[in-house]
Amino acid sequence: MGKKEPRKRQNGKRHNGGGEVTDVAGYMHLKPDHVEKLREMHRLRESLSGIPAGSEESPKYRSYTLHNFRQLPQVQRLSEKEQFAIEVVAKVLPFKTNSYVVDELINWDDVPNDPIYILNFPQKDMLLPSHYKEMAALVRRGADKSEVEATANRIRLELNPHPAGQLDHNVPTLGDTRLTGMQHKYRETVLFFPSNGQTCHAYCTFCFRWPQFVGMDELKFAMRETEVLVEYVRAHPEVSDVLFTGGDPMIMRTRNLARYIMPLLEADLPNLRTIRIGTKALGYWPYRFLTDDDADEVLDLFKQITASGIHLAFMAHFNHPRELSTDAVKAAIARVKETGAEIRTQSPLMRNINDSPEVWSDMWREQVRLGCNPYYMFLARDTGAQQYFSVPLVRAWEIFRDAYKSVSGVARTARGPSMSADPGKVEVLGVTKVEGKKVLALRMLQGRNPDWAMRPFFAKYDPKAIWLSDLRPAFGERRFFFEEELGKRYREDNVRRRQSKPQKRSARRLAPVR
């Protein structure tokens, strides 16, 4: 990989290695069930890579982490100071990129300001100054691994590793057992963290799930027992949606993903209407759906889901329009859509990456053009490197509003800017005046109590506030409408948690798919 030249492009098309340029657009709307599937899919693969499918030179996934990132030729363009900063921060926060991101997405002529570079490569200011200074000193003097890891773990625990009550208040119970590989915060939706899917093709530097990747088992959500998930959904008829999340479930081989999904289909649960898959694979490794050796099999699995009458919602994370620009991602989106899945897109608003209306309007337009539905603009959560990425709530609303104004109605499906906070998803509706005083109008999109949904409320105007906890109620109120009940719920959760027992981590193999 170190000496490999980036694949050549010509006018947005991929050069096929011979004398002609192949336009992938002709394959964007293939319907594999209505054509000679294998022949057409192999042609698609050849058009993307310029190399026959199955060849040893077809696109191969290669990861780069703290241990080998200096091998990248592009990294040699960075100063030693910049490379040292990457090493220091990556001792605390997870770091992984890959060959596709490095060769196809990052504009190395614009580094260190390139948004995709910042999205993947740790930056010095992603740690607080005191944390950076402490870790840098250990690295400089060559401290032993145990000392570095102990310091890193202490710093991690100071970064609010599980915001919004994830570990204390979102973990459900079955009987008296806490299901530590699941979360159930909102009535209709259960999150499931498959053990095999708790990594990603590359790590986003902003990721609020960073504790999944740093080796601290006590902070990690993971579960193998799909039968427990089935039992839980059957016991909770209010649950209509199961969200497979991580990490990234699409990092798994198809046979492993199927071992989590098929039991849900075979159980024929009358309340289960939607299976969601939260993934960054389209943005970070679209070849998962094109040229990986089980690409066709994973798409067949998606078809099984939709053919069963279950809605498949593909929750795709795209953080910048450039992630939608390659031939590979366009073809991958088309193939996923052909299965009957619906692709919904979401991203946090992040300073240094996408904090402008133009970036968002361009991204929404292109997503709609490719057949995706813009779903959420989130705000950087109160964990990890929030101080590096956060945008004040007032400015976030201005960005959302300006982007919203500049797109047509079909692209106005996104909600936000939204905070995934303790009480629920809180949307910033904007700045308004009441009796001549500025206030911030907010609305609960989702709540721990379903009755809180869509309730508007008001906070004192604060142009510096970056999170719900920074706001104070307007009009002389002592607390927001949800606070008293939320406190009561949390106290009751604490009692239940003390009375329950932790789920035993199973090391057994998953049952074979029937």
The whole-chain average pLDDT of the chain stands at: 85
Assign 30 a pLDDT band (cuts: 50, 70, 90).
very low
The yes-or-no verdict on residue 272 having pLDDT over 60 is yes
Model confidence band, residue 195 (pLDDT cutoffs 50, 70, 90): confident
**Cα 305 from chain centroid (whole Å):** 22
Q: Where is average pLDDT lowest: 228-232, 348-352, 493-497? A: 493-497
More confident residue, 346 or 387: 346
Exposure on the CB side of residue 252, measured as CA atoms within 13 A: 25
pLDDT attached to residue 501: 64
Q: Is the pLDDT of residue 33 over 50?
A: no
Q: Can you tell me the distance from the alpha carbon of 184 to that of 171, in angstroms, rounded to the nearest whole number?
A: 6
235-244 pLDDT, tens per residue? Answer: 999 999 999 9
CA 301/CA 355 separation, integer angstroms: 37
- Reply yes or no on whether the pLDDT at 507 is more than 70: no
Query: What pLDDT sits at residue 208?
Result: 56
Under the banding of pLDDT at 50, 70 and 90, the label for residue 180 is confident
Confidence (pLDDT) at 85: 96
Residue 423 φ then ψ, to 5°: -75, -25
Max Cα distance, the chain (Å): 73
Residue 216 has pLDDT above 80, yes or no: no
pLDDT of res. 511: 39
How far apart CA 209 and CA 214 sit, in angstroms, is: 10
Q: What is the pTM of this model?
A: 0.85
* DSSP class per residue in 65-97: ETTTGGGSGGGGGS-HHHHHHHHHHHTTS--EE
Whether the pLDDT of residue 35 is over 50: the answer is: no
pLDDT at 236: 97
Is the separation of the CB atoms in 312 and 339 below 8 Å? yes
Nearest to 449 by CA among 417, 500, 484: 484
The closest of 182, 192, 225, 172 to 507, measured between CA atoms, is 225
Between CA 466 and CA 149 the distance in angstroms is 31
- Distance, CA of 85 to CA of 121 (rounded, Å): 10
With beta carbons less than 8 A apart as the criterion, state whether 473 and 460 touch. Answer: yes
pLDDT in tens, 403-428: 999 999 999 999 999 999 999 999 99
Cα angle 254, 258, 262; round to 5: 160
* Res 181: pLDDT: 87
Q: Give the model's confidence band at 504: pLDDT under 50 very low, under 70 low, under 90 confident, else very high.
A: low
H or E element that contains 58:
none
- Whole-number Cα distances in Å, 56 to 1, 38, 53, 289: 13, 19, 9, 18
What percent of the chain has a predicted confidence (pLDDT) above 70? 81
Question: In the predicted model, is pLDDT for residue 234 greater than 90?
Answer: yes
Q: Give residue 25's pLDDT.
A: 42
**Could you tell me the pLDDT band of residue 271, with boundaries at 50, 70 and 90?**
very high
What 3-state DSSP class applies to 47?
helix
pLDDT digits (tens, 9 = 90+) for 304-334: 999 999 999 999 999 999 999 999 999 999 9
What beta strand segments (E) does 308-436 contain?
311-317, 342-349, 373-379, 415-420, 424-434
Map residue 488 onto helix, strand or coil.
Answer: helix
pLDDT at 177: 86
Q: What is the dihedral of CA 479, 480, 484, 486, to 10 degrees?
A: -140
Task: Name the amino acid, one letter, at 220.
Answer: K
Between residues 373 and 207, the one the model is more confident about: 373
Average pLDDT over residues 87-112: 95
Instruction: Give the model's pLDDT for residue 166.
Output: 57
Burial tier of 407 (Cβ tally within 10 Å: 0-12, 13-18, 19+): buried
Looking at residue 502, its pLDDT comes to 64
Closest CA to 232 of 280, 264, 185: 264
Q: What digits encode the pLDDT tens for the residues 381-396? A: 777 778 899 999 999 9
Residue-wise pLDDT for 425-469, tens only, equals 999 999 999 999 999 999 999 999 999 999 999 999 999 999 999
| pLDDT score for 37 | 45
Residue whose structure tokens are 């337009």: 365
Residue 157: predicted pLDDT: 84
Once rounded to an integer, what is the mean pLDDT over residues 195-201?
A: 84
Q: Does the pLDDT at position 349 exceed 50? A: yes
Mean local confidence (pLDDT), 474-491 = 94
Helix (H) or strand (E) holding 440: strand 437-447
